[in-house]
Structure 1
Amino acid sequence: MISLRNVTLRRGTKVLLDAASVTVNPGEKVGLVGRNGAGKSSLFALLAGNLHEDGGEFLLPPSWRLAQVAQDMPETEDSATDFVIAGDSRLMAAEAEVKAAEAAGDGERMAYAYTALHDAGAHDAQARAQALILGLGFKTTELNHPVNSFSGGWRMRLQLARALMCPSDLLLLDEPTNHLDLDALVWLESWLKRYEGTMIVISHDREFLDAVTNVTLHIDVGRLTRYGGNYSTFEETRAQQLELQQAAYDKQQEKIAHLTSFITRFKAKATKAKQAQSRVKALERMEKLAPVLASAEFTFEFKEPANLPNPMLVLGDVDCGYAPAEDAAAGAMPTVIVRKATHTVSAGQRIGILGANGQGKSTLVKTIARTLAPLSGIVTEGKGLSIGYFAQQELDVLRPQDNPLEHMVRLAKEALPEGESGREQDLRTYLGAFNFSGDMVKQAVGTMSGGEKARLVLAMLVWQRPNLLLLDEPTNHLDLATREALSVALNEFEGTVMLVSHDRALLRAVCDEFWLVSRGSLAPFDGDLDDYQQFLLDEAKRVREAIKESQKEARAAAAPVLAPAARKSSSNLKALQRDLGKLEQQMLELQTQKNAMEARLSTLSDPQEIGELGLKMQTIDESLADIEDRWLAISEEIEALSS
């Protein structure tokens, strides 16, 4: 087990752990939570052996194998499959030992090396690696693409697959969901539930933590506290503790009163009914979450829109996608991702946009946001439409060399009439509400954390006073408390929300309806997120079956080469069955020989004999694999003839 006894951990002059004690038992699945900067990543560094305790005692079983996601961006021309296979440290060591034994000509060493290679799973390593790659959202056509051909987010997915490929007793995952879409996230949850070792995960995704953890460790002001149960259990317990603090309780009551007032005023009005219903959901969550929000780094709210056009916009037979590049060959065709989208977006709607990876969610949002021009069709905007757009790459759009105040000054100049600009003190005060106070308003954005950049983007969105919010993965860099603050702010927002997110807690809290982007079309999704998760599982099953069918066809095409008798007698079922029986007899004889060799191997002491026997066993393994292929091809032909 993992044990910390009165451990003190410092980074520079900051004390992250102060005489902290905790135990993690073998096989436990632990969620590590706490504010940004509380010390979660530093504790991971301690567990991984990259940091050492400054006081106390830290114990980790020396025999435990560790796996974690490398944080560096991989730069290699290796294929995606080979890169992930290389994550299996046990297999890599076995392959290296085989090469060394063969180079040395040491028979005994070779025999042991071949056995270790087999035990390490060399026979199915490629299949295991590719299952991980496909599960994380890659296409079958990308399995052999060079790692360097993928974007940064996809390369980080390969780093995750590489970590999962590695046999381990302790798995450390630091924000594994940041670069995943909802379909890959559902697959990862399923994989982690089957993981047999001890796992510790840092994540800001509530539902992910609830799904994969059964213990929660909370870091707060140097203390490390263990809670039994998943994140929701921790949160409820923590909320009860905070309710005992009068300040937190008062803040909760003030927020509840605000929401209740809105519901009372607007529940009976047809034009506000949906918004009132959203506030009811927010109130239900607020009753238990407000104490947690009271301890958040900040809370905020969107300004009331100046007007609410209805409809906000209308999509009429819109094709969304990408026009040919300027240097493309003459006659090059545009790339259409979503075809004939026809929908109306009304005032007050709260729409969650769903769809598996690569189906076109972001392309649709970019078209609505005017970042991409429609390839065909018409987007009709309501008079006075004001769009606030948070793009997945919005953090990259910020100017790294500029500070938050410079960003706000530039925004104010663009929005205000010519010759006017916002007063610097007003802009400083405004930024202070988003926790940019003191010297932080003059800090270069490039030196800030992802969470701080995301807060700045939110501040810029709120200042623009939009009536339509287009949010494409807005929570990637936000901690749990800030996500809750965003959830409440969106529920209080008077305008329309269109949201793409893999954060299911945010989707459940904010959205009243869902659109599905799938197979090139856009349609309402008749169901909730649980129905959608089942849809994703069904889609994954469909893809697996399609791959299986294509492999079956490939094997059938190769059957004449693998089994000449089957080719000559393809119309004769009895002849095929005789061939099948012969192959089964051959497999039985070879397996019997292999068993006898394995028994003999344990009694030999002469290195030369051991080496020769090891080579013979390798030859038998190859023969068995070939016969099994032929057996499978004939079996499928028999099945086809029988049907």
Structure 2
Amino acid sequence: MQKTETIISFDKVFFEYGPNKPILDEVSFSLRRGSKTTVMGQNGAGKSTLFDLLTKELAPTGGQVNVAGDLTTAHSRQAILPAELALSVREFFEKCFKNKVYNIDPKIDAVLEAVNLKAPKDRVIKTFSGGQQARLLLASALIQDPDLLLLDEPTNNLDKDGISHLTQFLIDYKKTLVVISHDADFLNAFTDGVLYLDVHSRKVEQYSGNYFAVVKEISARIERENRRNAQIAKEIQEKKDKANVFGHKSGQMRVVAMRMREKVAELEEKIVDVRKEDKSIRPFIIPAQEEARGEIINFSKRHIALWRGKHLLLKGPNGIGKSTLLESIVGGKAKGITVGVGVKIGYYRQDFSTLNFEETVQRSLLSSMDEPNEERMRSVAAGFLLGADVIRTKIGHLSEGQKGLVAFCRLVFEKPGLLLLDEPTNHINFRHIPVIARALDKFEGAMILVSHVPKFVEKIRIDEIIDLYADR
């Protein structure tokens, strides 16, 4: 097959989850064999929906999704499904195939080596860390040897070495690849095209070039169009002013005024509908529990104590036990670690399991307030881009990025004395990350942070560091 062959095309595809939930509107684009494309767009713009249309898990409401002949597709999801957590590694991979695969162990060994993970085949999935589970998800797609590989936020939970290994793997990858990610440096290393989902127009714009070049091209185009629109608007206003003056005169002047109004109408048609930039969330503050004073948490074996206003970074590679330690602190089972009496813990989990997926956003946010107040809840939620259409939605129906914004909004209402954050940048649009970093930097309670994103961590005040790898 030739590399220029088109293997998938969208022809005026329309999709909606219901009468009031349109996602895509007359979207058209094509993918060629061997291309490596990134999908950009705001949280909730429909990136994961696009993947479901590519895999035929969803059917378009209108238009056509055309797939070449016997094209095979595999999708590396964002997270392990709850029903898969009790499976062994072997059972997890067997589930990737419709028909039984005999002598599957050599195939498992090959894909685990490709994702740089050592995993006994009888080990249960839930015993792996978030980063290790991310590698298993990638391996579950690779073992199918698809013509089209779809990766949904593949760097989430991965440590520095994991991201480096994945990046090189994708640089060398020979088949067709489509990736959703908010990691700009990662994407720029291997992509040769971009599909941009505009959350406002619900259209898809297709660009050629690496990630940084496309972002620069989009910004330059927007600047040109805004500048051109400003010039047209100025000319329109000048002609309107003159038309108003001449319109009050008689004879030939009224004819001139009429021609000017016709010219205004022509100019207004020339105004370009500039694509709106993704919005970032508004700056916010997570209030600290007023009653939490003095020593908030004590790590007696390490001779470290966090008082109000102190921030700690918990470091270590995937699988070292960072998430397990945070869970044990919340559960009061961490040996040698004592949380102060009456200290309220706010916990941001990387899998969002602190959220009730059956609740609406509205109910979830109201329940996190000491004194439920609908007006205040809606005002704060709007700052996290959780508008009226979103707050009526069940949390389980939101995108992963929107779930993250709900979790942060709840923390604002909860007012914790001790804040625990496990990979809080996962799934989050890159435009929101600096805002979140500033909020955490200013948090006046005690905080423990787990993050593998150096550029995020360096924007946050850190007073203490615990490196679990150094304890080995």
TM category, shorter: 0.5 to 0.7
Match for residue 48 of structure 2 among 7, 26, 41: 41
Post-superposition CA distance 1:494-522 (Å, at most 9, x none): 66654212445433444668835334729
Q: What are the within-5 Å matches in structure 2 for residues 310-349 of structure 1?
A: 315=298, 318=300, 340-343=301-304, 345=306
For 2:353, the equivalent position in structure 1 comes to 396
Deviation at 1:58, TM superposition (A): 5.3
Match for residue 192 of structure 2 among 214, 217, 220: 214
Deviation at 1:32, TM superposition (A): 0.7
Q: Which protein has the larger Cα radius of gyration, Structure 1 or Structure 2?
A: 1
Q: Which sits farther off after the overlay, 21-30 or 162-171?
A: 21-30
Q: TM-score, normalised by structure 2?
A: 0.68
For 1:296, the equivalent position in structure 2 comes to 279
Does residue 166 in structure 1 map to residue 135 in structure 2? no
Determine the C-alpha separation between the residues in 2 that align with 1:342 and 1:33.
Answer: 45
Post-superposition CA distance 1:588-638 (Å, at most 9, x none): xxxxxxxxxxxxxxxxxxxxxxxxxxxxxxxxxxxxxxxxxxxxxxxxxxx
Task: State the Cα RMSD in Å.
Answer: 4.8
Q: Which sits farther off after the overlay, 426-435 or 25-34?
A: 426-435
8 Å CA contact 2:281, 2:385 repeated in 1: yes
8 Å CA contact 1:400, 1:444 repeated in 2: yes
Gaps of 5+ in 2: 228-273
For 2:468, the equivalent position in structure 1 comes to 518
Quickly say closer, same or farther: Cα 1:309–1:228, change in 2 above 3 A. Answer: farther
Deviation at 1:37, TM superposition (A): 3.6
Quickly say closer, same or farther: Cα 1:498–1:241, change in 2 above 3 A. Answer: farther
Match for residue 89 of structure 2 among 80, 102, 113: 80
Quickly say closer, same or farther: Cα 1:467–1:144, change in 2 above 3 A. Answer: closer
Which is helix-richer, 1 or 2? 1
Determine the C-alpha separation between the residues in 1 that align with 2:414 and 2:275.
Answer: 28
8 Å CA contact 1:352, 1:511 repeated in 2: no
Q: TM-score, normalised by structure 1?
A: 0.52
Determine the C-alpha separation between the residues in 2 that align with 1:366 and 1:148.
Answer: 14
Deviation at 1:473, TM superposition (A): 1.9
Does residue 127 in structure 1 map to residue 113 in structure 2? no
Match for residue 384 of structure 2 among 422, 434, 438: 434
Determine the C-alpha separation between the residues in 2 that align with 1:390 and 1:475.
Answer: 11
Deviation at 1:296, TM superposition (A): 2.0
Determine the C-alpha separation between the residues in 2 that align with 1:86 and 1:356.
Answer: 28
Determine the C-alpha separation between the residues in 1 that align with 2:468 and 2:110.
Answer: 28
Question: What secondary structure is seen at the aligned counterpart in 1 of 2:168?
Answer: helix
8 Å CA contact 2:88, 2:121 repeated in 1: yes
Determine the C-alpha separation between the residues in 2 that align with 1:350 and 1:446.
Answer: 32
Deviation at 1:239, TM superposition (A): 3.9
Q: Which sits farther off after the overlay, 468-477 or 489-498?
A: 489-498
Does residue 200 in structure 1 map to residue 157 in structure 2? no
Deviation at 1:355, TM superposition (A): 0.8
Specify the code of the residue in structure 2 equivalent to 1:160: L
For 2:12, the equivalent position in structure 1 comes to 7
Report which structure shows greater RCO (CA 8 Å, sep ≥6). Answer: 2
Question: What secondary structure is seen at the aligned counterpart in 2 of 1:396?
Answer: coil
Q: What are the within-5 Å matches in structure 2 for residues 345-356 of structure 1?
A: 345=306, 351-356=312-317
Post-superposition CA distance 1:422-451 (Å, at most 9, x none): 654334433343344447556555555544
Specify the code of the residue in structure 2 equivalent to 1:431: A
Match for residue 73 of structure 2 among 29, 42, 66: 66
Q: What are the within-5 Å matches in structure 2 for residues 169-568 of structure 1?
A: 169-178=147-156, 180=158, 183-220=161-198, 221-242=201-222, 295-296=278-279, 298-302=281-285, 315=298, 318=300, 340-343=301-304, 345=306, 351-366=312-327, 371-376=331-336, 388-392=346-350, 395-400=352-357, 402-404=359-361, 406-413=363-370, 421=371, 423-438=373-388, 441=391, 445=395, 448-465=398-415, 469-491=419-441, 498-510=448-460, 515=465, 517-519=467-469, 521=471
Specify the code of the residue in structure 2 equivalent to 1:209: L
Determine the C-alpha separation between the residues in 2 that align with 1:46 and 1:403.
Answer: 25
Identity %: 28
Determine the C-alpha separation between the residues in 1 that align with 2:23 and 2:364.
Answer: 33
Aligned length: 415
8 Å CA contact 2:160, 2:452 repeated in 1: yes
Question: What secondary structure is seen at the aligned counterpart in 1 of 2:437?
Answer: helix
